[in-house]
Structure 1
Amino acid sequence: MRVHIFERILFIWAIRHPASGYVQGINDLVTPFFVVFICEYIEAEEVDTVDVSSVPAEVLHNIEADTYWCMSKLLDGIQDNYTFAQPGIQMKVKMLQELVSRIDGKPAF
């Protein structure tokens, strides 16, 4: 059941964001939100062993929606890292190179 929730979240996000679509690693951003929201309905010590199918469907739908919107809000701020040629990551690498250059006193790469 959890797999279907993640697939739907990622599929809908990819459809709503055609410039990026699905990029490897976005799924890793879903898991923490899912765990936080499902912990509201289970005992904390059960988080590693919970049978998601035992959680009522209505609760799972709410968890799925909350997870989607939180992940979307997070990705809104870093979407450039997940588009073609990854300009956000390229910019951060350049900034890091400049910082290292200033600290080391050597010219940038």
Structure 2
Amino acid sequence: MSPLSAARAALRVYAAGAAVLVAQLLRRCLGGFAEPVFCQQPDRVAIVTGGTDGIGYATAKYLARLGMHVIIAGNNDAKAQEVIRKIREETLNSKGQALSLPFALF
């Protein structure tokens, strides 16, 4: 295979990947993306690290809505306690607690 035909093949692969990516983004933006539905999990425990902000917070809140006992592990105890209080109010799930980890293990 000549270098020119190899470059054309690679370009076609990248173009196909870009087309799929754009199609997926448009589908999600236009409402074609359905959030997965999970059954209630009342007897389960979830430990969420980084649960005081961003994706971790959204995950902890969603798991609490499923009825799980959510433990937010973090290094800022005051913030974790505030987030647990907020999640309890929003989800009406009283099973939640903060776990303070004052140092990082790495």
Relative to the length of structure 2, the TM-score reads: 0.27
Relative to the length of structure 1, the TM-score reads: 0.27
Higher share in helix: 1
Structure of larger gyration radius:
2
Higher share in strand: 2
